[in-house]
Amino acid sequence: MSASDEQNLTPECRAERWLLEAGLRPTRQRKALASLLIGDGKHRHVTAESLYEAASAVGAAVSLATVYNTLRVFTDAGLLKEIGVEGPRSYFDTRTEDHPHFFYEEDGEMSDAPTGSIRISKLPEPPANAEIAGVDVVIRLRRKG
């Protein structure tokens, strides 16, 4: 499983290996979705909807509900990472400057991280013709058992 091995695999084979290493059964649908996600070895950002459309576009018959379920399964297995605060609920803060937040994964509780407790020493250069509107930092916390 060296890096050079990975280079020469077909998308299908790469997808299957990705699934097997995570202990997931490589079913037809999972292989199709996995192949769309990592078949070319590049990273991707998808929503359930966008992945569903991509699958449809290449003729892979996967239902939208299965795409949702599969994304969840992949995420639980550590193959994907969900971006941003989970859940469909929006939070609003009476502090309007950019500042970091603590977010408790278990119960969805949100609170301010102590002022001055974080320093970002280097910010990425925004792409040409775009400017930075703000920076959101969410520190996800897990209660210790």
Using CB under 7 A, list all residues that contact DNA: 24-30, 47-49, 61-66, 68-70, 72-73, 87-90
**Of residues 59 and 127, the one with the C-beta less far from a second copy:** 127
**CA distance linking residue 16 with residue 39, whole number of Å:** 10
Does residue number 139 form part of the binding site for a second copy (CB under 8 A)? yes
In contact, 60 and 37? CB cutoff 8 Å: no
| Greatest CA separation for the chain | 52
**Of residues 6 and 112, the one with the C-beta less far from a second copy:** 112
CA dihedral 15, 17, 24, 42 (to 10 degrees): -40
Which of the listed partners (DNA, a second copy, none) does 57 bind, with a CB threshold of 5 to 8 Å by partner kind? none
What lies within 8 Å, CB to CB, of 78 at 6+ separation is 22
Does residue number 53 form part of the binding site for a second copy (CB under 8 A)? no
Q: Please, what is the minimum distance in Å from the beta carbon of residue 54 to DNA? A: 14
**CA distance linking residue 55 with residue 47, whole number of Å:** 12
Which residues here bind a second copy, judged by CB under 8 A? 37-38, 43-49, 71, 74-75, 78-86, 88-97, 100-102, 104-105, 110-114, 117-127, 129-144
